[in-house]
Amino acid sequence: MAFFGLEDLSALSNVDLTIYRYVTQNSDKVAYMRVRDIAKITHVANSSVMRFVHKMGFSSFPEFKAFIQNQGNSTAEQPLFNFINQSNFPADIVNKVQMVADVLYQSDNIILVGMGSSAFLANYATRQLASLGYNSSVVTDPFYPLGQRLKNTSNNTLICYSVSGESEELIALINDFINNDDITIASITGNEASTIARMSRYSLTYKEQEYRIHRYYDLSSQIPALYITEALISVLNNRNAK
């Protein structure tokens, strides 16, 4: 099928053809370019690009780019908004969520730990648990003296959020409580074979490809971890309502 529904290219001017060929051969790049970027690389004026956009039947450049992103590029890796489904979780995830919810329900103190983007989820979970009346707190600094704070407490549950499950700082923090009978360790991680998952008494895992840019910036989706968090909150809310 012809791109933009064009069957006869003879109606296009030489300038239009230049733009057309670049767009159709580089749709993955064009979807994220500006008018002046296309104009510069095709050696035409900005106004020529806009005339081409209008000739293709689009009222604006954003509308043109939306078409490129959602329909023009047939090799897109995944449809927009198709973020998650049952395949993102192990078959026993419901039972595990119920078990962790039971532990939280009986806990006197709940500490949620996370770094980077996982820290936002830990904060969110802490607020939701507090709204339900649970004594919850968050730690986003792996060097926080948590051991001293919990020294004279009992019946605590620590939940660690980590995409990779291999954050050295979090591993060191958790390691201080491995043999502490007053603290139950649980984790929510994207790697069931990770160190943090294996250190946890309860490990709620999910499957999501880890994605980083510029080596350190983690763009991995947190939606599966959020789903698990929401499931825990839902179970606890139902318990409170009884």
172-223 confidence digits (pLDDT tens): 999 999 999 999 999 999 999 999 999 999 999 998 777 777 666 777 788 9
CA separation for the pair 15, 25 (Å, rounded): 16
Provide CB contacts within 8 A for 197, sequence distance 6+: 165, 187, 189, 191, 203, 205
Each residue's pLDDT tens digit, 83-116: 778 888 999 999 999 999 999 999 999 999 999 8
- Residue 43: band (very low, low, confident or very high) from pLDDT cuts 50, 70, 90: very high
Structure tokens at 198: 């294996």
User: Taking CA 46 as the corner, what is the angle to CA 45 and CA 51, rounded to the nearest 5 degrees?
Assistant: 95
Structure tokens at 189: 């991680």
Q: Name the residue among 103, 125, 98 with its Cα closest to residue 222.
A: 125
Does the pLDDT at position 139 exceed 80?
yes
Provide CB contacts within 8 A for 4, sequence distance 6+: 56, 57, 67, 72
pLDDT at residue 219, rounded to an integer: 76
Does the pLDDT at position 71 exceed 70?
no
Of 4-8, 152-156, 182-186, which gets the smallest average pLDDT?
4-8
Q: Extract long-range pairs of 124-133: CB within 8 Å, 24+ residues apart.
A: 124/226, 124/229, 125/159, 125/161, 125/229, 125/232, 125/233, 128/229, 128/233, 129/104, 129/233, 129/236, 132/233, 132/236, 132/237, 132/240, 133/240
* Number of neighbouring beta carbons within 10 Å of residue 92: 9
Buried b (16+ CB within 10 A) or exposed e, 62-79: eebbebbbeebeeeeeee
CA separation for the pair 155, 160 (Å, rounded): 17
pLDDT (average), residues 59-80: 68
CA separation for the pair 224, 207 (Å, rounded): 8
Q: Which pTM was predicted?
A: 0.67
pLDDT (average), residues 110-125: 95
pLDDT at residue 218, rounded to an integer: 73
pLDDT at residue 9, rounded to an integer: 72
Does the pLDDT at position 76 exceed 50?
no
Beta bridge partners of 157: 110, 184
Q: Are 100 and 186 in contact (CB under 8 A)?
A: yes
Mean residue pLDDT of the chain comes to 88
The residue assigned the tokens 């000739």 is 55
- Residue 3: band (very low, low, confident or very high) from pLDDT cuts 50, 70, 90: low
Exposure of 27 in the CB half-sphere (CA atoms within 13 A): 16
pLDDT at residue 198, rounded to an integer: 96
Of residues 171 and 215, which shows the higher confidence score?
A: 171
* Number of neighbouring beta carbons within 10 Å of residue 146: 21
